[in-house]
Amino acid sequence: MTTPYWDFPYRIDGSGRTARADEDHHIREMIYQVLFTAAGERVNRPDFGCGLNRMVFMPNSSALATATQYLVQGALTRWLDSVIKVEAVDITSSDSTIVVRVVYSNLSTGQTTVAQFSSAGAR
């Protein structure tokens, strides 16, 4: 059985076909897109994303971490609320790296997953 999800970023697999992803991988990729897409970057959705990368250049403080946590949780809830339920978001920043830990439940399976994303590892 083939999966209905295309891999992100779009690519051709070893067999010359569009690369596919399973549902869990696809959800993780959607979260990644919300986190690292800046507002205005998408033509038909100018308010999509939360622009996490721009936070790297702001002064490191607990207030910024709290504001970023609410920004990320709000963006994930807004754009992915039909796919996941966000249980928790934790933000850690050090020098020029922001690490986001997202705990979410897949609404189709009920499975809870913990995913970690880093601005240093952004594609």
Do the beta carbons of residue 106 and residue 24 sit within 8 Å? yes
- In the chain, domain spans: 17-121
Is domain 17-121 in CATH 3.10.450.40, yes or no? yes
Q: What is the pLDDT of residues 30-54, one digit of tens each?
A: 999 999 999 889 889 999 999 887 7
Residue 65 neighbours by CB distance under 10 Å: 15
- Torsion sign (Cα): 117, 27, 88, 111: negative
Closest to 28 (Cα-Cα) out of 96, 108, 84, 107: 84
**Tens digits of pLDDT across the chain (123 residues):** 455 877 777 778 888 888 888 889 889 999 999 999 998 898 899 999 998 877 767 777 777 788 889 999 999 999 999 999 999 999 887 766 788 999 999 999 999 999 999 876 544
Say what the pTM is: 0.82
